[in-house]
Structures are given as C-alpha cells and as structure tokens.
Amino acid sequence: MRWRPLFIALCLATTQAAAGAVEVPAGGGALRDAIAGASPGDVLMLAPGRHAGPVTLDFEITLDGGGQAHLEGTGEGSVVTVTGPDITVRGLKITGSGSDHQTIDSGVQLTKTARRVLVENNRILGNLYGVDIHGAEDSMVRNNVIVGRRDRRMNDRGNGVYVWNAKGAEVVGNDIRYGRDGIFVNTSRRNVFRDNLFRDLRFAVHYMYANDSEVSGNVSIGNHLGYALMFSDRVQVLDNLSLNDRDHGVMLNYANQSDVQGNLVRGGAEKCTFIYNAHRNLIADNRFEGCDIGIHLTAGSERNALTGNAFIGNRTQVKYVGTTDVEWSFEGRGNYWSDHPAFDLDGDGRADSAFRPNDLMDHILWSQPAAALLTGAPAVQLVRWSQSSFPATLPGGVLDSHPLMTPVQIAVPDDMAALAEQSAGRWRDGKTDDTEFDPLAAQ
C-alpha cells in the first residue's frame, strides 16, 4: 500500500499544473489575451498598474490583482462581466463603468448563468452600480470597498450591490458609501447581508419582494433610512446599528412574519421605527433612543409582538392613532420606558403598574396639530390628569402591562461611534445632496 501516497501526490501535482498561476503584465490588451488563452481553473496574477477593460469571464478562472492592479473600463457597459460558474474576482481596483441603468452598468456584473461566484477584497470605485448579482445564485460579495458616484441626484444613482432573483447570494463585510442604496434586493430569497458598513446613502438595506433572508450585524450611519423591508416575509433583522439616519432606522412596510431583534436605532431619525401595514412580526430587545418618535405603528398593523425593547429619550415614545387596545408585552415581559415613573416593590424587574405611552390629548394633537397651542391650558391638564387617574376614560391605544425597570444595553464599537460623531447634526444643518422623498413610495 506504500504506492498510494505517491499516487495521490502525483494527482495533486497534475491538477496544480493544469490549473496554474499565470502572470499578466500591466498595459495594453495583455489581460484580454491572458483570459483568451487561459484554461479552466487558472489563476491570473495581475501585475501592479493599469489593465484595460472591459473583460468577460465565462469559465472557471480567478482574477487576482494582489491589491495593486487597476482594472479600468472605457466608460461604457460593465467593467467585469461574469457569465460562468465558480469564478473569483479578487484584489482589484475597478473603475470606469458606463452610466446606463437599463443595462445596469456595473463595476462587476454577475449574470444569471453565473453560479458560486466570489467577489472579494476589491476597491470598486466610481461606477454606476458596484456589484450587480443578477440571478447568480449562491454567489458571495465579501470584504470589498464600494464607493458610488456623486455626480447625480441620489435617486438617479446606482446601488452599491444590486441583488435580483439570486437565491442564496450573500453580501458580507463590505464598506459601501455614496450611490443610491447600499444593498437593494428584489424578488429573491435565502440571502444573507451581514457585517456591512453603509454611509451617505438613501437606504442602507432595501428589500422588495424578498423572503426568507437575514440582515445581521450591519452598521448604517448618516443615511436617509437604515433598514427598509417592503413587501417581504420571514426576514431576520438582527443586531444591526442605525446611527444618525435621517428618516427611519427600521421600516416594515407590508413585511410579515419577520423578527426584528437586538437592533440599536439612535439619534437623528424622525422615527426610530415605522411599522406600516405589517403583521405577525416579533420586535424584541431593540433599543430606540433619541428620535422624534420612538415607534410609529399604523392602525393597519396587527398581531405584532413587542417585548424587551427600550424606548429612551424619544420626544414621542409611541405614535399609534387607532382606538383599539394593543398589548405591548409578551408572556409577561414588556418594554422599558424612560418616561415611566415606575416602582418595583417586589424586585422582579418589572414595574408594579402598567404603562400607557399615549392619552386622548396625544390623539387630538396628531389629528389636529394646531391644538398644540393649548397644551399648557388648565383644561388640557385636567383631561390628562383624569385619564391617568381613571383609565376607563382612555380611548384605547398601546398598553404595556408589564413594563421593564432596566433597558437593554447595546454597545457601539469605538470606531463606529467616531464615524457617527462625524455625521451628527448633518440633517439639521441641511447638509444633503438629494431632494426630499417619500420612503413608502421609493423603490
């Protein structure tokens, strides 16, 4: 049996010889020539310097720029087009895509015939779209720096990563800035978007008709909106940060049967969370802090469970205009409210009295804003006192029967806190390069 190790070694040597490393010099058409002459499994090692694009990859091959090669397009179409399976694009600076939304001109475009493509450790700069995963199932976009364009209004730019009908595609550990949306996913399923950083965008993550997916460990700083789930079901939104985003930190719009857990939304947002016609969702152990409105729940949203959340220092903790009683505790565990003057005499960690974040005057002020001129009037104070003393006079709304005495703690890493500090107050100062837009209408 002593021949077996020798036989295995010979097989490995044969495989390595067949799939060899090929040095590609910079300049001219050397890269295109190398691709044309390559064999399946070859690794093309691009020398430092400029390499002419665009290029198309249609069989198993690796482009490796070693972090110093620059692949430059002509300003038309996509710079790298991948049409085959098991292809890797690594360590390149990629610039020079076209500007046509119809053809989704991108730094790297993965077509529906591509499978299991890996795009990693690249700097994809100044393209209309960064990476287009257009039906390329089980592909991975990992550890790239993607910087979009700024020469158009935000809604006219492309997305950092566009995922369309790409089952199993993952976007992990990328730094995405400028452009339109950080990740826009449409008509897809079983995707994972994890540990990405999003800055200076419209939406950090934007879902449309995408199900059975995960959004976890991401950081959104200074965007118009953090995490928008629209017309999507069974999405796990876990352990994300939204810092100084302008409109909402998290929005559920016709999103159902999803879990929103362990997220922090802090500072800047008009609404930390907006729930619009969303049903049967679990919203648990999140921290909503320093927003104009902690959570806005529309009357059309039903059968959602809210438990373990912390509402801290929001100007209005809850906006719920409906008159139906809505219980905001689950299995005897409610939420923490920074404005609830509660006692816990039995020491079980839960307040001894229930909490209603809104009263009749809040409903009046939401429907008749001009009534704010009367908020200091004795009659208004009498109404509020009577409702707090005689709960039967309340018109319905949110009730937390088991408020918590301590808030959930969610830490912000020091480097992310420093980036958030740079964006603090930018919306109040009018520092934006985009027109106003309606988040519910944006697609």
Classify burial at 229, counting beta carbons within 10 Å of its beta carbon; exposed 0-12, middle 13-18, buried 19 or more.
Answer: buried
Write phi, then psi, for 295 (nearest 5 degrees): -150, 130
Distant-in-sequence, close-in-space partners of 56: CB < 8 Å, separation ≥ 6: 35, 80, 81, 82, 83
pLDDT for 85 equals: 98
Each residue's pLDDT tens digit, 42-71: 999 999 999 999 999 999 999 999 999 999
Q: How confident is the model at residue 357 (pLDDT cuts 50, 70, 90)?
A: confident
- Closest C-alpha among 42, 49, 54 to residue 66: 49
pLDDT for 14 equals: 39
Q: How confident is the model at residue 384 (pLDDT cuts 50, 70, 90)?
A: low
pLDDT of 2 above 90: no
- Is residue 227 one of the residues assigned to a domain? no
Distant-in-sequence, close-in-space partners of 385: CB < 8 Å, separation ≥ 6: none
- Is residue 260 one of the residues assigned to a domain? no
Each residue's pLDDT tens digit, 196-246: 999 999 999 999 999 999 999 999 999 999 999 999 999 999 999 999 999
- Is residue 254 one of the residues assigned to a domain? no
Question: Token match 């999140």: residue?
Answer: 286
pLDDT for 414 equals: 96
Residue of 430 and 158 predicted with greater confidence: 158
User: Within 328-424, where are the H helices?
Assistant: 360-367, 378-389, 414-423
The CATH number of residue 72's host domain is 2.160.20.10
Least confident range from 140-149, 296-305, 391-400: namely: 391-400
Model pTM greater than 0.85? Answer: yes
- Is residue 412 one of the residues assigned to a domain? no
Q: Mean of the pLDDT values across residues 143-170? A: 96
Question: Token match 């995963």: residue?
Answer: 133
Q: Considering its fold, how many domains does the chain have in total?
A: 1
Q: How confident is the model at residue 324 (pLDDT cuts 50, 70, 90)?
A: confident
Cβ atoms of 408 and 286 within 8 Å: the answer is yes
Instruction: Quote the percentage of the chain above a pLDDT of 70.
Output: 83
Q: How confident is the model at residue 3 (pLDDT cuts 50, 70, 90)?
A: very low
pLDDT for 20 equals: 84
pLDDT for 16 equals: 41
pLDDT for 237 equals: 98
Residue 103 structure tokens: 């053809």
Cβ atoms of 120 and 94 within 8 Å: the answer is no
What dihedral angle (degrees, nearest 10) is formed by the CA atoms of 296, 299, 304, 310?
Answer: 20
Residues 9 and 436: their CA atoms lie apart, in Å, by 64
- Is residue 131 one of the residues assigned to a domain? yes
- Is residue 361 one of the residues assigned to a domain? no
Strands (E), 74-180: 80-82, 88-95, 106-110, 118-120, 123-125, 129-134, 140-142, 145-147, 161-164, 170-172, 175-177
pLDDT for 15 equals: 40
Q: How confident is the model at residue 6 (pLDDT cuts 50, 70, 90)?
A: very low
Classify burial at 407, counting beta carbons within 10 Å of its beta carbon; exposed 0-12, middle 13-18, buried 19 or more.
Answer: middle
Cβ atoms of 133 and 193 within 8 Å: the answer is no
pLDDT of 438 above 80: no
pLDDT of 437 above 90: no
pLDDT for 12 equals: 39
Structural domain harbouring 102: 19-180
Distant-in-sequence, close-in-space partners of 322: CB < 8 Å, separation ≥ 6: 298, 299, 396, 397
- Is residue 424 one of the residues assigned to a domain? no
Q: Mean of the pLDDT values across residues 325-347? A: 88
- Angstrom distances, CA of residue 103 to CA of 77, 97, 125, 129, 264: 7, 11, 18, 10, 37
Instruction: Quote the percentage of the chain above a pLDDT of 90.
Output: 69
Return the sign of the alpha-carbon dihedral for residues 415, 416, 421, 427. Answer: positive
Cβ atoms of 177 and 146 within 8 Å: the answer is yes
Q: How confident is the model at residue 157 (pLDDT cuts 50, 70, 90)?
A: very high
Each residue's pLDDT tens digit, 8-42: 444 434 344 346 899 999 988 999 999 999 999 99
- Closest C-alpha among 197, 218, 193 to residue 207: 193
Write phi, then psi, for 129 (nearest 5 degrees): -115, 150
Residue 247: how many CA atoms within 13 Å on its side-chain side?
19
Q: What is the rounded radius of gyration, in angstroms, for the C-alpha atoms of the chain?
A: 26
- Is residue 437 one of the residues assigned to a domain? no
pLDDT for 427 equals: 65
Cβ atoms of 185 and 207 within 8 Å: the answer is yes
Cβ atoms of 276 and 253 within 8 Å: the answer is yes
pLDDT for 54 equals: 97
Least confident range from 84-93, 136-145, 299-308, 375-384: namely: 375-384
Residues 140 and 142: their CA atoms lie apart, in Å, by 6
Each residue's pLDDT tens digit, 234-291: 999 999 999 999 999 999 999 999 999 999 999 877 999 999 999 999 999 999 999 9
Question: Token match 């420093």: residue?
Answer: 418
